[in-house]
């Protein structure tokens, strides 16, 4: 589990967050044992944050960039109304096969449109389709974060939210050394300079950038 806080405090946060349902616990366990890089999964606490953000924003259309085994997609889809829609993008057929099974079992699968293609291609398709999204969750390859932001923000109405994961990058943003560190720093700098949004960088799990669109 990625955490910026010590194990005792992380366990306390976990214990004081609404418990995950048995389905989510199973998805987490299967991801841990069956997939490479299971730490990519947002997990219990950030999943709860995403679910609450979808609920309080009364989002009806959500876009996720980075499905993996489906934890965050399912957390957000569970907070959508029955006719709400979540488009989620990934390029990994193995991890998304796990996601598809849990989507189907969850009772929320009818809300989820999984697109297996590079996310920038899917973003171009969605723009051509005239789609709009009340909330966008960015959680895929870090070098493309700025590109995802630039492509996604025009699809968000004023008042909508963009949420980006791993934006503290295990704390490496403070003294970046590697290309991936610099990609996250570049993203945070880019968001901070964008006059279309107000934003807050939350120290939840590995860092969550939360931005609200103020103007087109």
Ligand X SMILES: C[S@@+](CC[C@H](N)C(=O)[O-])C[C@H]1O[C@@H](n2cnc3c(N)ncnc32)[C@H](O)[C@@H]1O
Nearer to ligand X among residue 99 and residue 153 (C-beta): 99
* Piece in contact with ligand X (CB under 6 A), picked from 5-13, 102-110, 135-143, 186-194: 135-143
- Burial label for 6, CB within 10 Å (0-12, 13-18, 19+), is exposed
Under rule CB under 6 A, which residues in 140-159 are in contact with ligand X? 140-141
Nearer to ligand X among residue 61 and residue 137 (C-beta): 137
Q: Does 91 bind ligand X (CB under 6 A)?
A: yes
Binding mask 17-46 for ligand X (x = CB under 6 A): -----------------------xxx----
Q: Does 163 bind ligand X (CB under 6 A)?
A: no
Q: Does 54 bind ligand X (CB under 6 A)?
A: no
CB of 142 closer than 8 Å to CB of 166:
yes
Q: Does 95 bind ligand X (CB under 6 A)?
A: yes
Number of residues engaging ligand X in binding (CB under 6 A):
18
Conformation bin of residue 160: beta by default, left when phi > 0, alpha when psi is -120 to 50: beta
Rounded Cα gap, residues 42 and 15, in angstroms: 16
Identify the CA nearest to 57 among candidates 126, 141, 160, 132: 160
The per-residue DSSP string of 107-142 comes to: T-GGGEEEEES-HHHHHHHHHHTT---SEEEE-S-G
Q: Which residues bind ligand X (CB under 6 A)?
A: 40-42, 66, 68-69, 71-72, 89-92, 95, 118-119, 139-141
């Amino acid at each position: 589990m990625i955490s910026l806080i010590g194990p005792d405090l992380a366990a306390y946060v976990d214990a004081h967050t609404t418990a995950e349902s048995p389905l989510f616990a199973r998805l987490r366990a299967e991801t841990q044992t069956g997939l490479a890089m299971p730490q990519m999964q947002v997990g219990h606490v950030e999943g709860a944050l995403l679910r609450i953000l979808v609920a309080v924003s009364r989002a009806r259309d959500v876009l996720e960039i980075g499905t993996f085994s489906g934890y965050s997609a399912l957390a957000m889809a569970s907070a959508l109304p029955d006719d709400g829609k979540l488009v989620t993008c990934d390029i990994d057929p193995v991890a998304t096969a796990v996601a598809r099974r849990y989507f189907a079992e969850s009772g929320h699968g009818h809300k989820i449109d999984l697109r297996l293609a590079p996310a920038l291609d899917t973003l171009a398709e969605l723009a051509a389709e005239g789609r709009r999204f009340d909330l966008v969750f960015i959680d895929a390859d870090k070098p493309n974060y700025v590109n995802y932001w630039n492509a996604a923000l025009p699809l968000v109405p004023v008042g909508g939210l963009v949420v980006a994961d791993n934006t503290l990058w295990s704390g490496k943003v403070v003294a970046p050394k590697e290309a991936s560190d610099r990609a996250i720093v570049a993203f945070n700098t880019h968001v901070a300079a964008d006059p279309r949004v107000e934003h807050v960088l939350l120290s939840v799990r590995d860092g969550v950038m939360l931005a609200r669109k103020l103007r087109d």
